Amino acid sequence: MTKRVEVTYNDMATLNDELLIKEKTFRQYANLYYVRLLGLRTYVLNAAQKKWETILKPNTADTVNKILDVKFGMTCCIVGTVYIEMRFKPNILDDVTKEHWAPPSPPRQKYCNDDDEFFLEDESGRIKLTGDILKKENIVTGVIMAVLGKESSDGNFEVSDICVAGLPYQQPMPIITDDKYIALISGMNIGPNYSSALQLQMMTEYLNGELGDSFEQNFTSKIALMIVAGSSLQEVKVVEDDKKEKKYGYDSSSYNAQPLFDLDNTLNEICSEIPVDIMPGSNDPVNTFLPQQPIIPSLLPKSCQYSTFRRVTNPYWCEIDGVVFFGTSGQTIDDIAKYVNSEDKLKLAEQTLYWRHAAPTTPDTLWCHPFRECDPFIMKQTPHVYFVGNQKEFATTIIKGPEQQRVRIILLPSFSETGNIVLVNLKNLDYLILKNMSQRSRIENVPIFAPFPQTNVCIPNDDLVNQIIASIDPAVILKIRQHTYLEIKDLIAPKPKKNRNRQKIPRPQNPFVIFRRNEQAKMATGLDPKMKESMLAFVSKAAGKDWKTANAEVKNVFNYLAQLAKKVHEETYPDYVYQPRKKIDRSNFQNSTLRNGCFINSPIPEFQSTPNYSNFWPENQHSSYASNYHSISTSLEENREVWPDSSIFPCSFFPSKYLPSIRSLVDSATPNAPKSPIPPCSSTFTHSNSSTTLSNYQSETRSSLFKPLTIYSRSTTLGVSDSDRTLPPLEVNISNYTTNYYDRNLLTSLLL
């Protein structure tokens, strides 16, 4: 196995030490708000003066040091801590209600309301804020910000603009030449009713390099470290009125230690190969208030024997080969989402960076330790990778700051629900997704090149497209709609094409591509979805003829749409570089002759060995063993000379117009053969190359390189000769008929 890559690890003790609770205290939380305001006021003031430098001038507008110094009618800037009075926000009375057996209030997904009141306070006092901008921004209690406005006659402060601290300093991105990946996982949720044991075991074997072929094992050797972002165990449900039978020890009827044993065994296997950092989460056996302390060693005794196993806090900082990581187990963003109207958690995670505070809702609605000397949630530097664990679905983006900051933000999905692991490349902050470990061990590459605020993979943001459309003159829009069937938004938005298991950045659309897309949608109206792809070639030809004969007005419309599409493409994919497609060198097809559009191999290969490929035969054929041969019992319909079984080889890959030429080709090759239909019979599976090993062919077959080509011939071999292939065609001898297996894509490109 390839040697695993090594990285330098820095635990960033100066930042993580503040997250460790050194003493138990039961003080009030007022001091925490004070040190937060003290720590961020300078940065907020500097950002406000830079933003409003043309407004904040002597004798016209100025910065007020204290809220009590605000003067009536004078435009000024004040800095303080936001407090929002919410009618539906949970409070201590809910707990009192439960104690008195009164019916509790129904649970709510959101606690914000239109009548919420905003206040700004500092050490001197508090003032009520008004203004429409407060409703538009995602502001929560605990944020330190500056507001620009003036005091109204009713004593409220009318806000015209707001400003926050902005992104802090970011250390330069290191220069790394080789690919090195960090695996991020969250929400394993191991428990009594755990249904993802298979994918957990496959994940362990994959990370250890025990799954896949040599290519995948070589790739897994580049995974340098794994970070577990909380919720490794299932939530323990409290049993009401549970009677404890034992005076000492735990009662097995109410507590099950098996999930901890399973987690320890899993981490123990992974730690033997790669380092692991494990963060606690909302379901794990640690303190519930933030910052959550590391899991105690006695709960994971096997894993703690390895020096590669590190128990860390939540939140958590680390530096790997100069790349700074910061992450939480998800409670911070989940709590913020309850008190704002936005559902975009990726946007909320970005705002915490601009607020310079990872958990602003602490201690108001999110429990935390009452720190006295510092606020450990203040972000003193900008990380290169910011991850949030235990989210409903995967999302990612890259944001860029005014001082060349660049941050990859990642929302990690629950592993128990999706089976997904995210890999981040230290070289360039690109990422990969290992999808659904219970079904496959293949790597799915889903790179994203779009700038913020794009949240979907390779799909432009709707706001960007709508903004460009809004800038078009209404008369021009009317002219466009006269010549188009689709909406403008659907025409100018790029659609990435799938290239095997990954998505590529699409090329910028030219006028004809947009014209063809419009024509295809027009002609495909009302058709079966399966027929739309098969008619693409016909539509392209028809659209090409129509484009040549189109008048200048039509071409001007689609030329203008192409300019809009180019603008969307440039904004969505700023790092796009044109990469021409490699052409197939057809001169390598040796020992072949071309007849009626098909290649014929000559001579017929000799059969020397019979390896066993039973595990890779199509599922609709039933295998049995006889002596040294692998027999396939195949049921074929009578009176069928060509067998395009849709479950094995879709008819769309083999147009019917080629069947007569292929049939005549077969007849000309075997003039003396009987012209009888293909009867149901047993077939013998052989292979023509004894030097080919089973493991090599397994690798090729599993990646779906070979698909059955449904051509039958008599006493001859039909197919495409490809000298570059290391494997000769496979053959199934059915009486005196021969079926060949070839590369489906290569054959289709030659026939079509």
Looking at the predicted structure, is the pLDDT value of residue 100 above 70? Answer: no
What distance in Å separates the CA atoms of residue 333 and residue 353, rounded to the nearest whole number? 12
Q: Which residue has the higher pLDDT, 717 or 306?
A: 306
Q: Is residue 11 part of a domain?
A: no
- What token pair was written down for 346? 């990726």
Say yes or no: 138 and 115 in one domain: yes
- What token pair was written down for 619? 């599922």
β-sheet bridge partners, residue 309: 276
Q: Is residue 87 part of a domain?
A: yes
Say yes or no: 268 and 296 in one domain: yes
Of 617, 207, 608, 161, give the one whose Cα is nearest residue 437: 207
Based on its alpha-carbon atoms, the radius of gyration of the chain, rounded to whole angstroms, reads 33
Looking at the predicted structure, is the pLDDT value of residue 57 above 50? Answer: yes
What distance in Å separates the CA atoms of residue 151 and residue 131, rounded to the nearest whole number? 12
Q: Is residue 448 part of a domain?
A: no
Measured at the CA of 608, the angle between CA 605 and CA 611, to 5 degrees, comes to 110
Looking at the predicted structure, is the pLDDT value of residue 273 above 70? Answer: yes
Compute the Cα dihedral for 708, 709, 712, 717 and give only its sign: negative
Looking at the predicted structure, is the pLDDT value of residue 292 above 90? Answer: yes
Query: Domain containing 524: what range?
Result: 462-572
Q: What is the pLDDT of residue 109?
A: 75
Task: Give the end of a domain, one of 112, 132, 163.
Answer: 163
Q: For the residues 16-30, what does the mean pLDDT come to?
A: 86
Say yes or no: 568 and 590 in one domain: no
Looking at the predicted structure, is the pLDDT value of residue 330 above 50? Answer: yes
> Tokens 């699409």 label which residue?
506
Q: What is the pLDDT of residue 247?
A: 54
Q: Is residue 92 part of a domain?
A: yes
As a whole number, the mean pLDDT across the chain is 74
Residue 209 identity (one-letter amino acid): G
Q: Of 215-219, 290-294, 566-570, 615-619, which range is least confident?
A: 615-619
Q: Which residue has the higher pLDDT, 704 or 93?
A: 93
What distance in Å separates the CA atoms of residue 47 and residue 724, rounded to the nearest whole number? 62
What distance in Å separates the CA atoms of residue 554 and residue 575, rounded to the nearest whole number? 32
> Tokens 């949720």 label which residue?
189
Task: Give the end of a domain, one of 410, 442, 474.
Answer: 442
Q: What percent of the chain has pLDDT over 90?
A: 37
The domain tally of the chain equals: 4
Q: Is residue 367 part of a domain?
A: yes
Say yes or no: 217 and 127 in one domain: no
DSSP at 512: H
Looking at the predicted structure, is the pLDDT value of residue 688 above 60? Answer: no
Say yes or no: 351 and 212 in one domain: yes
- Name the pLDDT band for 672 (thresholds 50, 70, 90): low
* Residue 308 · residue 271 · CB < 8 Å: yes
Looking at the predicted structure, is the pLDDT value of residue 623 above 90? Answer: no
Say yes or no: 731 and 602 in one domain: yes
- Name the pLDDT band for 192 (thresholds 50, 70, 90): confident
Q: Of 173-182, 369-378, 716-725, which range is least confident?
A: 716-725
What distance in Å separates the CA atoms of residue 601 and residue 590, rounded to the nearest whole number? 9
* Residue 720 · residue 599 · CB < 8 Å: yes
Q: For the residues 544-565, what does the mean pLDDT come to?
A: 87
Q: What is the pLDDT of residue 537?
A: 66
* Residue 283 · residue 260 · CB < 8 Å: no
* Residue 420 · residue 396 · CB < 8 Å: no
pLDDT tens string 485-510: 888 888 888 765 544 444 567 778 88
Say yes or no: 501 and 534 in one domain: yes
Q: Which residue has the higher pLDDT, 653 or 377?
A: 377
Looking at the predicted structure, is the pLDDT value of residue 725 above 50? Answer: no
Q: For the residues 179-202, what does the mean pLDDT come to?
A: 88
Looking at the predicted structure, is the pLDDT value of residue 229 above 80? Answer: yes
At 250, is the secondary structure helix, strand, or coil? coil
What distance in Å separates the CA atoms of residue 733 and residue 739, rounded to the nearest whole number? 7
Say yes or no: 104 and 139 in one domain: yes
Q: Which residue has the higher pLDDT, 239 or 471?
A: 471
- Name the pLDDT band for 542 (thresholds 50, 70, 90): confident
Q: What is the pLDDT of residue 159?
A: 94
Q: What is the pLDDT of residue 503?
A: 53
pTM above 0.85, yes or no: no
Q: Of 133-147, 171-185, 590-604, which range is least confident?
A: 590-604
- Name the pLDDT band for 582 (thresholds 50, 70, 90): low
Q: Is residue 373 part of a domain?
A: yes
Say yes or no: 504 and 590 in one domain: no
Q: Is residue 182 part of a domain?
A: yes
Q: What is the pLDDT of residue 474?
A: 76
CATH code at position 199 = 3.60.21.50
Say yes or no: 316 and 267 in one domain: yes
Say yes or no: 550 and 658 in one domain: no
Cis omega before residue 315 (within 30°)? yes
DSSP at 383: -
Q: Is residue 293 part of a domain?
A: yes
CATH code at position 46 = 2.40.50.430
> Tokens 């790997």 label which residue?
320
- What token pair was written down for 529? 């979805």
3-state helix, strand, coil in the chain (%, to 5): 30, 20, 50
Say yes or no: 372 and 285 in one domain: yes
Task: Give the end of a domain, one of 412, 442, 472.
Answer: 442
Q: Which residue has the higher pLDDT, 735 or 223?
A: 223
Q: For the residues 625-652, what does the mean pLDDT come to?
A: 37
Looking at the predicted structure, is the pLDDT value of residue 239 above 70? Answer: no
